[in-house]
Every structure is written in C-alpha cells, then in structure tokens.
Structure 1
Amino acid sequence: MSVEATTERVLRLLALLQRRPSWTAAELAAELKVTDRSVRRDVERLRALGYPVHATAGVGGGYQLGAGTRLPPLLLDDEEAIATAVSLRMASGGTVAGAGEAALRALAKLDQVMPVRLRAEVRAVHGATETLVGPGVEIDAELLVTLARACRDAVRVRFRYAGREGERERTVEPVRMVTTGRRWYLMAWDVDRDDWRTFRLDRMREVVATTWRFRAREHPDPVAYVQRSVTETPYRYLARVRVHARPDRVRELVPPQVGRVEDDRDGWCVLVVGGENLDWLAAQVARLGLEAQVLEPPELREAAALLARRLAAMAGTG
C-alpha cells in the first residue's frame, strides 16, 4: 500500500477517534475496511506522532483518544465545518473578553483551508445575517475558565463582589454558570449566608479557586433559579399578571431575563416580571397586545388605569 493511502487511512482513524469516546478494534476495522492488525499498526503510528491513544483490554474495552501535550488536527465534515465557521463569526462579537480576536484568528485559519464550495456557503450565511442586539458586558475568558473548573472539580471559590451592600469578600460552592446572552451568572451556595445565591460575573474581582473540596448538595435547577433571581429579586416591584395566551406564545414575546411565565388554566398563563417603575410595568404588559388581568400588586392596576387615560387622551377619545 502506498504512503499516501496509509496516511489517508491514519487521518481517517484519527477522525473516527474524535467522533465518539470509545471504539473497539473490530468497529474501527469495519469502518476503515482493514484488518484488526492494520488498526493496531495505525494506532501505533498515531502514538508515534504524539497523539495519546489509550487501549483497554477485555469485554467493553477498546481505543480512546486522550488528552495530550498538543491539540491534534480536528478533522471536520462539511456540516461541522460550516457550523464551526458560523459559530466563530458569532463569537468574534461576543461577550467574552479576548474571545473576539481569538475567534477571528481561528476563523481566518479555517477559511484558508476550507474548500471553495464550503467557503461560499459560510459567506452566504454571513451575508444573510445581521446582529440586532449588541454585545453585553464583556467577561474575562480566564474568569470563565476558573469558575468552570471549580464547578467541575467541586472546589470552593473566593472573590470580592460588588453587591447592594457594597463590595465584600464572598466564599461560595459553585454549581453552574448560566448566560442570558448579554450577562453571565454563577449559581452557588454562599458559605457565609448558608443559602443559594446568584452572582453576576462582571461584578466579581480577585477570583480564586481554593483547594477546599466540598460535597455536592441537592440544589435547584440552575437555569430556573437564575431566571427567578434576575427577573424578581433586584426590583422594587414584582408584578404577577394573568395573560390570555399560551405560555409558549408569551415566552416568545418576553425574554427569559425579563420575565418568567407560569402555566395556568383555560388558555391563560401568569407572567411574573419585576421593575422599578409601575408605569413602565403597565406599559410593558400593554405592549404585549394580549388580554391581561393584574393579580398583584394592586398599585399596578392604578398605573394601568392612568396609562389607559393617557392613551385615550392621546387618541382624542378621552
């Protein structure tokens, strides 16, 4: 067999090992249309190139590509290449500090080696897409890595946090990071307050992952908890409004970081939304264009009545 054919087969083997966590020798041989012995030789070729291919003997054993000292070439099919290029384009204007420049460098490398037919498809997607909402608060990429590792390894994190009470040192047991698209949040157990808390990453300083490991405890759903925190806790007023529409319809109109939608009965749902100003809350509910009933607070009914009179006067019908 020629050197070119062997090289092509070894690259195909590397691509297969990247596709899923583990393969048996028989599965790899069937995919490559070679013998088990050829698979073993190709595995040794990959190891000689510095790629750690682990082998496990016995029932359920097989080959697995491990983490090495360098990143192996990522062999992408057409759909993966297009998805990666589009994602890098989006990341170039994202909310992670420094990621924009790195994403552009990676995109340039990918574009250089991408086949002409795929490059044309990616550029067609780019040309047909615009970003309506600008990026939110930038977060340092190293902070994300530190918190992600702390969540994974179950170690406590210490940082200074600028909250309502001023800047104070906090020690937490992190569970999960949640992003709304414009802001990043950490859900964690606050050791000093002995309760669950939500922390905005852009308000953290001097973040340090300690060596103190903690035992995972039962916790609320991180996404639901963060949504409840960001839509209710920070505001002076918390409104509950019964809306005559399916929950999915209202969720399409109200972003998750703005309001929370609860199921109700008979084609209605309950919108929970916070705000500092009752007039603003009344206007936001009215702009949904749906039949609504204010459940609480009572002051919101008065604000809605005042808004109705103003609109009637504006229309010349008051």
Structure 2
Amino acid sequence: MKAGEAVETWLEWMARERRSSMRTVAAYRHDLGLALGFLTDHLGGEPDLAALGKLKVADLRAWLAHETARTEQKPTRRVVTTDGRARSRARRLSALRSFFRYLAERYGIENPAPQLLAAPKTRKRLPRPLSREDALKAPEDIAALSHTTEGAVRDEALFMLLYGAGLRIGEALDLDCRDLGGAGDGLLRIVGKGGRERIVPLLPAVVTALEAWRRVHPAPSPDAPLFTGVRGGRLQAPVARRAMQTWREQAGLSSSATPHALRHSFATHMLEGGADLRSIQELLGHASLSTTQVYTLADERHLLSVWRSAHPMAGGMPEATVTDGKAGKKI
C-alpha cells in the first residue's frame, strides 16, 4: 500500500471512529499532503508502508525545516508571528504522530521517529468567553435575526444548548431526534471527541427551548437530524457560525464571539459560580484535567479569590497584585 492511500484510510477512520471535525480532517489532509510531497521528492518516489517504517528522525527534521523555509519565503498579506509559525509546526507534527500511531495499530508499522522529534513550544491560548450578560441574551437575540419563525425557534434552541450545556457546535449538530429521549428527565447523552460518551444535565430553560423546537421540527422521526437546515438535511456548522457572526457584528462584539465561545462561557461562568474543575471536566468531556485547567489561567481574579477564601492561612490577607508582564493588575 502506498502512503497516500494509507493517509486517506486514516482520515476516513478519524472522521468515522474518532468523530473528528471536518476542519480537523481537512487540516490533517493538508499537513500530511505536504509531508508526502516532500518525502516523495526526498526519497525519489512515493513511499509505501515499508518505506514509512524505515524513515529516520533526520528525514522528518528535513521535512519540517523545508516547511519552515517555505512558509517564511511565501508572500502573504497576513503578519505571521514566531508563535504562529511554531503552532503550524506543532500541528503538522501532531498530524504526523497521529498518522504513525494509526499505522502501528492498523498495519503493525512501528517507527519511533515521529515521537522523537521535539515539539516546538507555543504560548497557551486562553479562552475568550462572553460576558454573562452577552451569553444570556445571545440565543434570543440570534433567533430574532432569523427570517422564519421555524428558524428562530431552532436557533434559540441550538444556542441555548451550546451555552446551557457547554457543547461543542459539532456535538450539538450531530444530535438526532432520538437523542432527546431523555431530555424530559433533564439529561442528554453526548458522543464527543474520540467517541467518548458523556451525560450532560439540561437546565429547565434549555429543555423548554428544545421541546419548543421539537414541536415545530419539519420531520421529527427518531433518526432525523435534531437541527435541520432549510432543505431538511442536517444543519451545517458554517450556517450556525454565520448566524452568530451577524449577531456579534450588530451587537458590536469582537470576532472571538463564536459558537465555541459559548462553550468557553459555560465553563468560565461555572468556575466563577463555584463549580470544581473535576465536575467541569466531566461536563465538557475533556479527557485530561489539564485541558480544563486553562480556565483557571484565564481568570486570575477568581483563582486568587478562591485561594484567599479557602486557605486557612489566608485570613485577613490584603488583596494581591498580579503582574501580567506589562503592568500590575490588582486582584
């Protein structure tokens, strides 16, 4: 089997079994395409599985160096920062490592070279949640921009679900009508990244919005998509993103106000309300607690407030000053 065929098989597996988003699959196809293009020239022909198993760290370093040089020489209107280039390199390395793990599991092709490459250090991107006020009014305001009554009911239910339960946009749009079977009990079964299942509780306001949408759903058979588009098929994520983009532009919000920002808002506002990280981890469906801990980094004020109120030695402590590298911020 040639490497290109193996890549396509892997990408199909990622989409079907791992439930990776279309954006992730497209990014991985692009990155692996670059790698195979370089290796084909580097080795004098498209490699097969046996050749992939014999690649050395030096071969892969040569590819990453080639991509770095190509990116720096490529004319672009965008300003590419050092951190941006490091993120691109890290993503390509992640794609390569995932592909080689698949080769080992599926075809027995063991090659430690991708794991031996040093990953570039990048700055951790902090979540950018909406304010409580904006997050609360987003579903109703977005719904008001719909051109049809049916679309308004659908959009309110969708965005209520994103903020009220912390779902990813892909998770919400993958739901079928049958998945609402337990919604009357205030629970919803979600299949997230990596096929991991979790049960999320639904607030009464979210249940009410979902039931209102189910009553006007054009074809609410059990196997039908829960959220449908104008032609009756499954609603696509770009359509939902455009609806929120229209609202944020009218509301004067930044470009960070996206459907995923509602998930960040859910986690941030839960943390501010006193929820513990383990509970938030379970609700978000994070495989690792370290992924959830980023929300504590994004809210220094809350973190220090909890520290001062919870630690027995902190009684009567004055407010602390946190330095963010540019100026001191009083917390």
TM-score normalised by structure 2 residue count: 0.24
Determine which structure has the larger helix proportion and give its number: 2
TM-score normalised by structure 1 residue count: 0.25
Larger radius of gyration: 1
